[in-house]
């Protein structure tokens, strides 16, 4: 199952995930790296996970001892890495004229 529509926030989140595709990352960390509001990141993460592009797990930590809620960590699957790279390459091909070599135009 694929992700039907590649919006700018989805592309920004993919770029953040692909910066280090084998590392598990939590939502707030990804939001900060992508330059997005945390509330907009979580629905995208759910869509990517439902599409098979991400796998996730909840950390095994005592929330009281840590002084914060448990985090859900996300990591790209092999399918997600391939699909993400394809989506970013396609977006670069469609970029506005006059933008530098393959940079995202937003």
Q: Evaluate whether residue 3 is within a structural domain.
A: no
In the chain, % of residues over pLDDT 70: 86
Q: Evaluate whether residue 88 is within a structural domain.
A: yes
Specify whether the CB–CB gap between 74 and 16 falls below 8 A.
Answer: no
Number of domains in the chain: 1
Q: Evaluate whether residue 35 is within a structural domain.
A: yes
- Domain housing 28: 8-93
Paired tokens of 73: 């960590």
Q: Evaluate whether residue 102 is within a structural domain.
A: no
Question: Is the predicted pLDDT of residue 75 greater than 90, yes or no?
Answer: yes
Confidence of residue 5 (pLDDT cuts 50, 70, 90): confident
Helix (H) or strand (E) segment spanning residue 40: helix 38-50
pTM score, whole prediction: 0.83
Return the pLDDT at 104. 54
| CATH code, domain with 15 | 1.10.10.10
Question: Is the predicted pLDDT of residue 106 greater than 60, yes or no?
Answer: no
Q: Evaluate whether residue 100 is within a structural domain.
A: no
């Amino acid at each position: 199952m694929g992700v039907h529509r590649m919006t700018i926030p989805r592309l920004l989140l993919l770029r953040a995930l692909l910066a280090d595709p084998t590392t598990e990352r939590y939502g707030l960390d990804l939001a900060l790296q992508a330059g997005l509001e945390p509330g907009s990141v979580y629905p995208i993460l759910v869509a990517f996970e439902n599409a098979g592009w991400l796998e996730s797990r909840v950390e095994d930590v005592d929330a009281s001892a840590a002084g914060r809620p448990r985090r859900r960590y996300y990591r790209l699957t092999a399918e997600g890495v391939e699909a993400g790279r394809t989506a970013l390459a396609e977006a670069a091909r469609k970029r506005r004229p006059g933008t530098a070599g393959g940079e995202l135009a937003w």
